[in-house]
Structure 1
Amino acid sequence: MSSLGGGNAAVRRVGRRAEALIRHARRSHQLAFVGLLALTVTVSSAALAMPTFIPTSVLVIPLLLGGLLLRFRSLVVLTVFALIIGSYVMSERASGLPKTGFVIVLGLIAWIILTGAKVRSRLGVQGTRGEQMLMELRDTLTAQGELPVLPAGWRAEHAIRSAGGASFSGDFVVSTTRSDEVLEIALVDVSGKGIDAGTRALLLSGAFGGLLGVVPVEDFLPAANHYLRRQDWSDDFATVVHVAVDLRSGEFEVRTAGHPPAIHFDSWSGRWQTRDADGPLLGLVEVPEFTVNRGQLKMGDALFLYSDGMVETPRRDIERGTDRLVGHAERLVASGFKGAALELVDEIGGPGDDSAIVVIHRKTNPSELAGTECAAPRTGRQNPLRRRSAVLRQLKAYTA
């Protein structure tokens, strides 16, 4: 057992040293280049000395490492050097082996590696640095969408699913609190979907996140529209639903810019109603006007913000999609909408479009409802068809 443990420790030490060497090689380009040249010579010599045990195809290893560590010009030098060495090694092998075919295959592999390196060189990065930058940008976009910690009695959660399962999405969320008293959330849908819209979404998330909580609530959408106009995007635009909730009184304001309206669940009546607030798409009008819809979240109430990918598909219009969303959300009333965002995105989100939803819930205080029997039972006795028809009537007015 002790020898086995000692062997595992030795393997871990070798692994750590190898990782440290790779990190150092990434920082020192010249060291990586010289080391790969030496590796090419070493494996070639080993292939000549022990042709039975070491195949000539081992020369592919330095090329693959070079594609990860070297700049384009140095990789070209390494590739030419490996092809020359490989041709020499094959010429020394016994007759009857496919020597020309091996050189052609090695050259084809080298061309594939060089093509990938050429694309990365356009970014000014080498090896896996470009992929690492994209991962960091994705993590930044995800971190900016994290909702703030709310005081007792409130819950807010969100979920986003990109079209095709990509890491980047055209939908994103930015949020902040003002003096721990006012919660501001903006759900943005950038034109396009998936990776195609991901770069614009990343740019706008940084800008909108900087505006949110800094400019007055009523000035957020005009300022966001002004920023988008400055980008001079010919056919691209964005839709936004922006809500500000007073965490003391529950009063809220909803403003939209070409976005589906928010849905308000009234726990005391069991009704669902849309909160329409007309406003043009961001980036299309020089001086837009945005109306406001005000309301109040009482104990047990909830507010739903969602993108069009949740309610609209090529085979389903927005009215039927919203009716379906409300129907699924009704099932989550009893659980206090805990985990509702993720479940609704998984169950309702359209497979061909980015889907996002934000759920803001003011929790019910059991001590304040002691001796009261009307809150929870009403939601169960309320006719779901009446609630859905009310939503449909308001949606028709919205889409008219």
Structure 2
Amino acid sequence: MDDERTLLARRSVTSRLQRGRAKVGRWGQPATSAAIIAANTLLCWFMLMWPDNVPFSAYVPVAVVAGLFLTPKVLAGVDLAILVAGAWTVVEREVSAAILAAYGVLTLVMLIMFWVAASRARLGVQGNLGESMLVDLRDRLRTQGELPELPTDWGAELSVLSAYGDSFSGDFLVTSRHDDVLELALVDVSGKGIAAGTRSLLLSGAFGGLLGSMPYEAFLPAANSYLLRQAWDEGFATAAHAMIDLTTGDFSLGSAGHPPGVRFSAGSGRWEVLEGDEGPVLGVTQGLAFPRVRGRLGRGDALLLYTDGVIEVRNRDLRDGIDRMLGTAERMIGKGFEGMAEKVCAAARAGETDDRAAVVVWRR
């Protein structure tokens, strides 16, 4: 119970920080807009009064900042004022190729920034609040995958690396600990990086709600039904779902089109692939079974789950990728399991071209 309270307290702090960012965004946006409009009005007045003394370059920062923070309707008025003041400047000065070129560059900058503002307006929020929303969504996705506090004789570690270093990943983990039972679901959504990020966010919330709220054998069928109801064009996903009894070390591992889990046995000092029947990919068809593999983690044993980005190599069998991953894991055994998930992901041959995720749970 103390571990659960610690995790809830940590998530409460994260939630308060997110609400604080949202409050700052709501109150800061009107003030920023008013400041930009005032600066633009003052600059245009200077340009109309002293056209020979104010260069065109003075408009560029105002045009860029206005494009970042103003809505398209307000921005259109600001840009029109700039164009009128600029045209007056051109008329009042001696017309030259340099002045016309500067006026043309300024117009191009305003068109680009108007396109940026119009693109953001599709989110239905003003200015940079769209970015604030994305940051909040990213933080929530990461919070969903936080590993809970475990008893002192257990350890766990997660590593998730996005394709090309994107903030969002198609691979994610959801966890649940209730009493002395730990449940983990490592999911790989179709697509990669930002393209899969929105689906990852939706599924992480849905799967996180399912995890721990039903018998563990029912999780994968329920997740499959949820995905089928979404009717996405690219709605499939693979998943590995593990239930571990933290008292006895007994575990049950189910797969939905996911690479097989591997177990380290302290007795033999080797990793073994947990072979078994593989269930169907999530979101493709209804009514099929999801077989499970059962075993026990003794003192010094570990369970490693990973996504296909860790082992997949073009024109090579997945077994070769698994052997390479296990070679990396075996070289780290002498140092313990800490850092193994990160090392396994970093050593993947796919590199930054694919999302990679790995989670290790071990018993001390």
Question: Could you tell me the TM-score, scaled by structure 2's length?
Answer: 0.88
Find the counterpart in structure 1 of residue 99 from structure 2. Answer: 99
8 A Cα contact 1:69 1:127, kept in partner: yes
Find the counterpart in structure 1 of residue 254 from structure 2. Answer: 255
Aligned pairs for 1:234-253 (under 5 A) are 234-253=233-252
Aligned pairs for 1:122-161 (under 5 A) are 122-161=122-161
8 A Cα contact 1:229 1:284, kept in partner: yes
Find the counterpart in structure 1 of residue 10 from structure 2. Answer: none
Amino acid of the structure 1 residue aligned with 2:227: L
Find the counterpart in structure 1 of residue 293 from structure 2. Answer: 293
8 A Cα contact 1:256 1:290, kept in partner: yes
Find the counterpart in structure 1 of residue 354 from structure 2. Answer: 353
Deviation per CA, 1:240-276: give whole Å up to 9, x if none.
0000100011010000000011001111112322223
Residues 97, 234 of structure 1: CA spacing in aligned structure 2 closer, same or farther, 3 A cutoff?
Answer: closer
Residues 325, 106 of structure 1: CA spacing in aligned structure 2 closer, same or farther, 3 A cutoff?
Answer: same
Instruction: Measure how far apart 1:80 and its partner are.
Output: 0.7
Instruction: Measure how far apart 1:317 and its partner are.
Output: 1.9
Aligned pairs for 1:306-321 (under 5 A) are 306-321=306-321
Amino acid of the structure 1 residue aligned with 2:313: T
Kindly tell me the number of residue pairs found equivalent between the two proteins.
Answer: 339
Distance 1:349 1:340 in 2: 16
Distance 2:203 2:139 in 1: 15
Amino acid of the structure 1 residue aligned with 2:220: L
Deviation per CA, 1:87-131: give whole Å up to 9, x if none.
213333355473322222111111101111111111111211111
Distance 1:348 1:96 in 2: 59
Aligned pairs for 1:147-186 (under 5 A) are 147-179=147-179, 181-186=180-185
Amino acid of the structure 2 residue aligned with 1:359: V
Aligned pairs for 1:187-206 (under 5 A) are 187-206=186-205
1:59 matched to 2:59? The reply is: yes
Distance 1:189 1:69 in 2: 36
Amino acid of the structure 2 residue aligned with 1:297: L
Distance 2:234 2:96 in 1: 62
Instruction: Measure how far apart 1:312 and its partner are.
Output: 1.1
8 A Cα contact 2:156 2:361, kept in partner: yes
8 A Cα contact 1:63 1:113, kept in partner: yes
After superposing the two structures, state which structure 1 stretch, 192-201 or 347-356, moved more.
Answer: 347-356
After superposing the two structures, state which structure 1 stretch, 37-46 or 69-78, moved more.
Answer: 37-46
Q: Secondary structure of the equivalent of 1:98?
A: helix
8 A Cα contact 1:185 1:242, kept in partner: yes
8 A Cα contact 2:86 2:103, kept in partner: yes
Amino acid of the structure 1 residue aligned with 2:355: D
Deviation per CA, 1:285-332: give whole Å up to 9, x if none.
211201111100000001100101111121432111110111110111
Find the counterpart in structure 2 of residue 114 from structure 1. Answer: 114
Deviation per CA, 1:115-161: give whole Å up to 9, x if none.
11111111111211111111111111111111001011111101011
Find the counterpart in structure 1 of residue 15 from structure 2. Answer: none
Instruction: Measure how far apart 1:65 and its partner are.
Output: 2.1
8 A Cα contact 2:48 2:88, kept in partner: no
Aligned pairs for 1:360-379 (under 5 A) are 360-363=361-364
Instruction: Measure how far apart 1:349 and its partner are.
Output: 5.3
8 A Cα contact 2:25 2:129, kept in partner: no
8 A Cα contact 1:186 1:241, kept in partner: yes
Distance 1:23 1:233 in 2: 32
Instruction: Measure how far apart 1:38 and its partner are.
Output: 2.8
After superposing the two structures, state which structure 1 stretch, 120-129 or 50-59, moved more.
Answer: 50-59
Unmatched tracts of structure 1, length 5 or more: 1-21, 364-400
Distance 1:310 1:279 in 2: 20
Unmatched tracts of structure 2, length 5 or more: 1-23
Sequence identity of aligned pairs in percent?
A: 44
Find the counterpart in structure 2 of residue 36 from structure 1. Answer: 36
Residues 46, 24 of structure 1: CA spacing in aligned structure 2 closer, same or farther, 3 A cutoff?
Answer: farther
After superposing the two structures, state which structure 1 stretch, 51-60 or 141-150, moved more.
Answer: 51-60
Distance 1:51 1:147 in 2: 63
Amino acid of the structure 1 residue aligned with 2:194: I
Residues 143, 46 of structure 1: CA spacing in aligned structure 2 closer, same or farther, 3 A cutoff?
Answer: same
Residues 190, 300 of structure 1: CA spacing in aligned structure 2 closer, same or farther, 3 A cutoff?
Answer: same
Deviation per CA, 1:220-244: give whole Å up to 9, x if none.
0011001001001234300000001
Distance 2:141 2:356 in 1: 16
**Higher RCO by CA contacts (8 Å cutoff, separation 6 or greater):** 2
Find the counterpart in structure 2 of residue 275 from structure 1. Answer: 274
Distance 2:340 2:34 in 1: 56
Residues 115, 61 of structure 1: CA spacing in aligned structure 2 closer, same or farther, 3 A cutoff?
Answer: same
Find the counterpart in structure 1 of residue 21 from structure 2. Answer: none
8 A Cα contact 1:158 1:357, kept in partner: yes
Distance 2:217 2:347 in 1: 34
Distance 2:217 2:175 in 1: 15
8 A Cα contact 1:91 1:99, kept in partner: no
Q: What RMSD over aligned residues (CA atoms) do the two structures have, in Å?
A: 2.0
Question: Could you tell me the TM-score, scaled by structure 1's length?
Answer: 0.80
